[in-house]
Amino acid sequence: MSLRPSDPAVNDEGVVGPLERGLAVLRAMSARAVAEPGREGLRASDLVRHTGLARATVDRVLATLIHLGYVRAAGREVELAPRHAYLMSSGIPEAVGPHAERLSTRLAESVSVAVPDADGVRFVVQESRRRTLSLAFRVGDLLPAERCAPGALFARQWTDEQWQAWRERRRTDPNDAGFPAVPRRPASSGVESEFVGRTRSAVQDGWAADDQLVEPGLIAVSVPVEVAGAQMCAASVVSHTSRHDVASLAAAVLPLLREVAADMSRDLATVLACERASLPARGGADQSAVAPVVSAKTELGAGYLQSLARGLAVLAALGGGPGGMTLTQVAQAVALPRATARRALLSLAQLGYVAGSDGQFRPLPRVLELGYAHLSGLSLAQILQPHLERLVEAVNESASATVLDGDDIRYIARVPTYRIMSVDIRIGTRFPAYATSMGRVLLAGLAPAERRLRLRRVVLRPLTRTTVTDPSRLARILDEVAANGYALVDGELEEGLRSLAVPVRDASGAVVAAVNLSTHTGRGSVPATLERLLAPLRDTAAAIEADLRVIGTALG
């Protein structure tokens, strides 16, 4: 069976329309969850604005998505439910992820794996190391092919039509506004010939480089991961100009990167072959996706969008394996007649979520747009986030909030800025408390006995040349932090990184979080940093504390 958009089933508005609108709502919710972690709740009216759909349509879509468990209602808002993540599986992360992790550990550099997605490059694995000084991408993020190393590898196999589509996109979006994961770039005429040149080099060399295409400082080298001659993905080692230039990075990592890419190819081929062989056994495996499809029509009546439910069930079933499924297997897995499953597949293909060849259907990377973001209900983070946003707007430095988690700090909110040496860290990232400004603020906020206990327990490892590793010196520093009400750490976590933190106290006076601003040591002296950033940071902490008193949230 081929997938021709001219197929009458595809043009049947009754099938494609509700699915398209439902996926538009899911995409809008996912984009919001990525853009504003900790604040992913949206009202139906927001979704009307973001999707351009009518209110009644949004309501019907939401009723269906809530029924299916993709979305949950939280007061007057709706948010993505964790169950959603299962759509994301394509098999590639499972097959190559462990190799990426090992490589990253051996090199002590970030390693990522990306797949081609139209004329873009989409990350499916991210192993972040030493990335505090540059932007880190998330799984699911899409980059323009011409602004990263994997793009030049993928472009080696582009057809004339693909080059055409790429040129057209460059013409209509010269600043990369359509790629929210990357900083905008000024329009420039040299981009196209530069990319063509880099693609030619990639054909010759078999690897490609990124010399600060995304932002100043960020460099990468990539090699392809192929199965039976097809480029399935590309593996990249990412570093920073403070440690390497492109030539020295390539010299240092290419031999090992190539070895690991070969291991990835081998495992990916095995996984794909096993998946194919085991597919019949998986028929009907995802029963959770099946039941609501069948039963809800009667319960929800006309408000229920059956073709949306079927489309999502089919996507979920396809997400169960990387090797693809036949129409018969899909129909079995979702317990629908073949003709119905076929219509759903054709609709998904037309909307760009599914590809079919040789009778096998598989999900396309675009499914990542439907909400990979890890969603968790962090009430403290929700309170902090808008304050951090205002602070970043005022001082144009990245702001974060963390809590103490064992001997580490853990990020619960973060608002980055895009600028040279932007400091990028994600929600959930941990660092040793002793070497960070927020950690020192949090440690200084502990009762003296507890503080002493922790200092005795923790091993103080040097992370840079200047990390304080003498316990009695650290104890004195913490006394000062407690007395001054702030901590400033200069290059002890990472060379070149300066960070200033203050505590956030709850109504009882206990330190429940720390907020900070991070900047680059090259951007001024320590007194100048204090002069510029301490007052706005303290004002922010005070505003958060006022909120906490009003909200009276139980924290922790």
Residue written as token pair 């009762």: 447
Query: Cβ closer to ligand PHB: 19 or 111?
Result: 111
> Closest by alpha carbon to 296, among 312, 282, 274, 284?
312
Alpha helices in 149-245 (DSSP H): 149-155, 160-172, 191-205
- Reported in sequence order, the residue ranges of 416-486 that DSSP labels E, i.e. its strands, are 430-432
Least distance (Å) between residue 236 CB and ligand PHB: 4
Query: Cβ closer to ligand PHB: 236 or 382?
Result: 236
Query: Cβ closer to ligand PHB: 144 or 292?
Result: 144
- How is residue 407 annotated by DSSP? T
Query: Cβ closer to ligand PHB: 214 or 331?
Result: 214
399's enclosing H/E stretch is strand 398-405
Q: Name residues contacting ligand PHB, limited to 509-548 (CB under 6 A).
A: none
Least distance (Å) between residue 141 CB and ligand PHB: 8
- Does 103 participate in binding ligand PHB (rule CB under 6 A)? no
- Residue selected from 58, 87, 214, 425 as contacting ligand PHB according to rule CB under 6 A: 214
Site map (CB under 6 A) of ligand PHB, residues 335-364, x = contact: ------------------------------
SS (H, E, C) 28-48: HHHHHHHHCCCCCCECHHHHH
| DSSP assignment of 244-294 | --HHHHHHHHHHHHHHHHHHHHHHHHHHHHHHHHHHHHHTT--HHHHHHHH
- Does 149 participate in binding ligand PHB (rule CB under 6 A)? yes
- Residue selected from 47, 78, 87, 148 as contacting ligand PHB according to rule CB under 6 A: 148
Answer yes or no: are the C-beta atoms of 96 and 234 closer than 8 Å: no
Q: Which residues is 73 bridged to in the sheet? A: 78
Least distance (Å) between residue 139 CB and ligand PHB: 10
Least distance (Å) between residue 169 CB and ligand PHB: 18
Least distance (Å) between residue 208 CB and ligand PHB: 8
Give the strand order in the sheet containing 487-490: 430-432, 408-415, 398-405, 511-520, 497-505, 487-490
- How is residue 394 annotated by DSSP? H
* Residue 235 CB neighbour total at 10 angstroms: 28
Least distance (Å) between residue 319 CB and ligand PHB: 23
Residue 537's contacts (CB-CB under 8 Å, 6 or more residues apart) are 391, 486, 500, 501, 502, 515, 516, 517
- Does 238 participate in binding ligand PHB (rule CB under 6 A)? yes
Query: Cβ closer to ligand PHB: 210 or 545?
Result: 210
* Residue 287 CB neighbour total at 10 angstroms: 10
Q: Name residues contacting ligand PHB, limited to 150-169 (CB under 6 A).
A: 150
Query: Distance between CA 124 and CA 354 in Å, rounded?
Result: 17
Query: Cβ closer to ligand PHB: 88 or 135?
Result: 135
Query: Cβ closer to ligand PHB: 149 or 488?
Result: 149
- Does 176 participate in binding ligand PHB (rule CB under 6 A)? no
Q: Name residues contacting ligand PHB, limited to 108-147 (CB under 6 A).
A: 110, 112, 137
Least distance (Å) between residue 127 CB and ligand PHB: 9
Choose the stretch contacting ligand PHB; rule: CB under 6 A; options: 148-156, 305-313, 429-437, 471-479. 148-156
- Does 383 participate in binding ligand PHB (rule CB under 6 A)? no
Least distance (Å) between residue 246 CB and ligand PHB: 10
Both structure tokens of 382: 């929700």
> Closest by alpha carbon to 542, among 479, 478, 483, 486?
486
Answer yes or no: are the C-beta atoms of 378 and 412 closer than 8 Å: yes
Query: Cβ closer to ligand PHB: 30 or 112?
Result: 112
Least distance (Å) between residue 81 CB and ligand PHB: 28
355's enclosing H/E stretch is strand 354-357
Least distance (Å) between residue 92 CB and ligand PHB: 15
Size of interface with ligand PHB, in residues (CB under 6 A): 12
- Residue selected from 236, 307, 518, 540 as contacting ligand PHB according to rule CB under 6 A: 236
339's enclosing H/E stretch is helix 338-350
Least distance (Å) between residue 382 CB and ligand PHB: 27
Query: Cβ closer to ligand PHB: 24 or 219?
Result: 219
Least distance (Å) between residue 120 CB and ligand PHB: 12
Query: Cβ closer to ligand PHB: 112 or 385?
Result: 112
Answer yes or no: are the C-beta atoms of 265 and 226 closer than 8 Å: yes
- Does 202 participate in binding ligand PHB (rule CB under 6 A)? no
Q: Name residues contacting ligand PHB, limited to 57-86 (CB under 6 A).
A: none
Query: Cβ closer to ligand PHB: 231 or 553?
Result: 231
Choose the stretch contacting ligand PHB; rule: CB under 6 A; options: 3-11, 214-222, 341-349, 443-451. 214-222
Least distance (Å) between residue 89 CB and ligand PHB: 20
Query: Cβ closer to ligand PHB: 257 or 441?
Result: 257
Report the SS3 class of residue 455.
Answer: helix
490's enclosing H/E stretch is strand 487-490
- How is residue 555 annotated by DSSP? P
SS (H, E, C) 99-115: HHHHHHHHHCCEEEEEE
Query: Distance between CA 532 and CA 516 in Å, rounded?
Result: 13
- Does 220 participate in binding ligand PHB (rule CB under 6 A)? yes
Least distance (Å) between residue 118 CB and ligand PHB: 17
**Residues found near ligand PHB in the complex (CB under 6 A):** 110, 112, 137, 148-150, 210, 214, 220, 222, 236, 238
